[in-house]
Structure 1
Amino acid sequence: MNFLDSVPAIRRIETSRDDLLAIDVVGHISAADGENLFGLMEAAYALHPRIDVLVRLVDHDGVDWANIAEETLKQGTAHAMEHVGRCAAIGEPDWTADARHALRDSPSIEFKHFETEDEAAAWLWLGVQPTGKQQGRG
């Protein structure tokens, strides 16, 4: 095992809003990283009935969707539809069309994609700023 294998691909970004979950998604997302993401979202929902989400993709290299438990995906989708208001996606690939399709039963979620060079506009769109701290799991 390489020491880099233990570096989490989902990294929480501290922000100026308690009701916003901001994360960096770095490299390849394993099933364990996906489960971690759903756990971070559940924790945010426990504190706030409605949240906004910011996802910044960094050197994205795919997701192991097939290896994430089907029940986790179903529950994660259902809870997102209940709790998420806005979602800003920064970087490539632009996955917002796929998310809109997957969450088509929830027209209340507003997705917006921003190019990497337009990151400041994403933070502004959500009315939030990063505080400079970044965390690993949980």
Structure 2
Amino acid sequence: MFIRPTIREAPTTERDVFAFHIIGEVTADDMSAMADYMNTQFDKHDTVSMLLMFDIYDGAERGASFDWETLKSRVRALGKVRRYAVVGGSDAAKQAVEWSGKMLPVDARSFDAANEDAAWAFLGAQRA
């Protein structure tokens, strides 16, 4: 189970579905640790699905997205993530997810906080 101060994994009913709560301002260390964790999961599974739930999101620490593990996981995700869902978050984040779903080989959707159950159903999993 992945637990950091600003990113916490939520248990799921499916071994290839990974769900995370995002809380506050995501630090560079937490983002790098999550990227390392997901790179390990990419090694273990042919494909995965991911759910990010923005509980209280205050953005990311400056430069958090540019560490090597984070960049590597983003590139690897293109071939490893089959479904990607985001619950809550800013309008800009929702638009980015929707755009990604149209431009990249991943089925990506965003959901309002009130529709978290629909996001779980989209991934074919439930909270364990």
TM-score bin (small chain): 0.7 to 0.9
Q: How do residues 58-97 of structure 1 correspond to structure 2 at under 5 angstroms?
A: 58-94=55-91, 95-97=93-95
Structure 2 unaligned regions, length at least 5: none
- Local SS of the residue matching 1:113: strand
Once the two structures are TM-superposed, the CA of residue 70 in structure 1 deviates from its matched residue by 4.2
1:116 & 1:67 partners in 2: Cα distance?
25
Mark the structure with the bigger radius of gyration. 1
- Given the superposition, is the C-alpha separation of residues 80 and 111 from structure 1 closer, same or farther in structure 2, using an over 3 Å criterion? same
RMSD, matched Cα: 2.2
Structure 1 unaligned regions, length at least 5: 1-6, 132-138
Q: How many residues align?
A: 124
Match of 2:50 among 33, 49, 53: 53
**Which amino acid in structure 2 is aligned with residue 33 of structure 1?**
D
Match of 1:42 among 39, 43, 48: 39
2:51 & 2:64 partners in 1: Cα distance?
24
Could you state the TM-score of these two structures normalised by the residue count of structure 1?
0.79
**Which amino acid in structure 2 is aligned with residue 57 of structure 1?**
F
1:15-62 superposed Cα distances (whole Å, 9 cap, x missing partner) = 000011111111110101111110221121121010000000011001
Q: Which moved more, 1:68-77 or 1:56-65?
A: 68-77
Identity percentage over the alignment? 23
**Structure 1 residue ranges (4+ consecutive) displaced by more than 3 angstroms after TM superposition:** 67-70
Q: Is the 8 A contact 1:123 1:129 kept in 2?
A: yes
2:79 & 2:6 partners in 1: Cα distance?
25
- Given the superposition, is the C-alpha separation of residues 20 and 118 from structure 1 closer, same or farther in structure 2, using an over 3 Å criterion? same
Q: Is the 8 A contact 2:6 2:22 kept in 1?
A: yes
Which structure has more relative contact order (CA 8 Å, sep 6+)? It is 1
Q: Which moved more, 1:65-74 or 1:76-85?
A: 65-74
Q: Is the 8 A contact 2:98 2:110 kept in 1?
A: no
